[in-house]
Amino acid sequence: MVAFIGLLSFVGIIIGGIFSLKAVLKKQPKRNALLITAGSFIVMLAALTLTPTTPHIKLAEKSIETNDHGIAVIEGKTNEQSTITVAGEKVKTKEGTFSYKVTLKDDQPQKLTFVASIGDKDKAETIEVKPSKAFVAFLNEEEQDQEALKNAETALALAENQPTQKNYDEASTRVTSLTQEQKEFMKRLAIIKDNIPIYEAVELAETKQTKEHIDSATALVAKATLNKDSLLQRLTTVQQKVTAKETAEKQLASAREAVEKAEQEPTDDHYNQAIARIKELPNGHPDLSNRANNVKQTLTAQKEEAKKVAEAQKKAEQEAQAAEQQQAQAAVAAQTPETPAPDTQAVSTSVLVTPTGQKYHNRKCGNGTYTPATLEEAQARGLTPCSKCF
């Protein structure tokens, strides 16, 4: 109000000045113009005198509670010349009154300081905004809802990563327990449910590891909408295991067959083939190795026995040859006439010859009819010594 009066007086001074100037120019009486100017000046002085220089502020309450949603409206009064601020924010005033809305974010009280300023002069008032019980309950409920929402999201993520019936049931329970319907969550649940049979088929293929189960799972994975690449990789791994298993089974069958053949016909070749097949097995095979070792022992025993037989046969042949030689020499001696004494007649060497042979012998060393003869007679017939006998 005082400011309004001051403004009017200022306008009055201007108007009085204009009238005074016109009166001077037209040489008219100046009294009225001077009266207006003087009166306006006096009113301005009065307004300036009445204008307060000290800021004023008065809050309606020292503390206030929020409503159910954490909102509180703070009201107060001040003089028209004061500027009101709170936390650096200017508050709008109207005819010396103001109001300010504050919203709490949690269940902790908040203190606000309102400052009224005129020039370099300030005056402050502080108010405490407290959360109401209803707002605290609202916060707790909201916190629970957020926690339930977070748990539902976690369960959904797990079920999407591993769409088993157990994970689906857990996610479904979490989602349906939310206070507000989540359409997006329901869509995700529907997708998980559609992918459960696919995931189970892949798990079954991993367990059974048969071509039939792999083919069945592959057909289903082609329709998968969750983790398709991961499922295909798992099936590839299963296929590799099945192939390796089949290869190992073939190798085992080949090794077993080779060992059985070596057992039935224990030869070095059969034994070596059995050992080669056993070495091809990825992890070896103790039982087949033991059986192959038994074949090796059998071969060693057979070789020792054959060696003994050969040595005995050789010895027998040598003894027989010696006996035959003694008999031949005895026969030659019996048929040879008495020779003169060594000092009167040279001694002739006796040998054995055959009617058609080209050699002369000192013993029977083959088939044929042997007759005694002197060395001179054999040489005269052109016979040469037998390499076996001489």
pLDDT, tens digit, 9 for 90 and up, residues 116-144: 999 899 999 999 999 999 999 999 999 99
How many domains is the chain built from? 4
Task: Please say if the pLDDT value at position 216 is more than 50.
Answer: yes
CATH number at residue 83: 2.60.40.10
In a domain, 85, yes or no: yes
The pLDDT value given to residue 377: 85
pLDDT digits (tens, 9 = 90+) for 102-120: 999 999 999 999 999 998 9
The Cα 274–Cα 267 span in angstroms is 11
The pLDDT value given to residue 31: 62
Decide which of 111, 131, 151 is a domain's last residue: 131
In a domain, 32, yes or no: yes
In a domain, 298, yes or no: no
Task: Please say if the pLDDT value at position 345 is more than 50.
Answer: no
pLDDT band at 355 (very low <50, low <70, confident <90, very high): confident
Task: Please say if the pLDDT value at position 201 is more than 60.
Answer: yes
- Pairwise pLDDT comparison (344 vs 45), residue with the higher score: 45
For a pLDDT cut of 90, what percent of the chain falls above it? 59
Could you tell me if 92 and 150 lie in one domain? no
Contact assessment for residue 53 and residue 118, using Cβ atoms and an 8 Å cutoff = yes
Q: Pairing relation of β-strands 57-59 and 71-78? A: antiparallel
End-to-end Cα spacing for the chain: 164
The Cα 289–Cα 287 span in angstroms is 5
Domain that holds residue 167: 138-226
The Cα 154–Cα 148 span in angstroms is 10
The Cα 219–Cα 198 span in angstroms is 9
In a domain, 374, yes or no: yes
Decide which of 85, 110, 131 is a domain's last residue: 131
SS3 85: strand
The pLDDT value given to residue 382: 86
Pick from 328, 336, 339: which is nearest to 368 by CA? 328
- Pairwise pLDDT comparison (33 vs 73), residue with the higher score: 73
Could you tell me if 180 and 127 lie in one domain? no
Could you tell me if 120 and 166 lie in one domain? no
For a pLDDT cut of 70, what percent of the chain falls above it? 83
The pLDDT value given to residue 342: 46
Model pTM?
0.49
Pick from 284, 299, 290: which is nearest to 251 by CA? 284
Residues 6+ apart with CB under 8 A from 255: 274, 277, 278, 280, 281, 285, 288
Mean pLDDT of 152-162: 96
Contact assessment for residue 82 and residue 55, using Cβ atoms and an 8 Å cutoff = yes
Residue 111 φ/ψ, nearest 5 degrees: -100, 135
Task: Please say if the pLDDT value at position 344 is more than 50.
Answer: no
In a domain, 119, yes or no: yes
In a domain, 101, yes or no: yes
Average pLDDT score over the chain:
86
Helix (H) or strand (E) holding 130: strand 121-130
Mean pLDDT of 211-233: 96
Decide: residue 39, CB within 10 A, 0-12 exposed, 13-18 middle, 19+ buried: middle
Decide which of 27, 50, 73 is a domain's last residue: 50
The pLDDT value given to residue 350: 86
Task: Please say if the pLDDT value at position 6 is more than 60.
Answer: no
Q: Quote the tokens at residue 284.
A: 């070896």
pLDDT digits (tens, 9 = 90+) for 271-323: 999 999 999 998 889 999 999 999 999 999 999 988 998 888 888 888 888 77
The Cα 301–Cα 236 span in angstroms is 51
The pLDDT value given to residue 38: 66
pLDDT band at 23 (very low <50, low <70, confident <90, very high): low
The pLDDT value given to residue 194: 96
Task: Please say if the pLDDT value at position 188 is more than 90.
Answer: yes
pLDDT digits (tens, 9 = 90+) for 228-266: 999 999 999 999 999 998 999 999 999 999 999 999 999
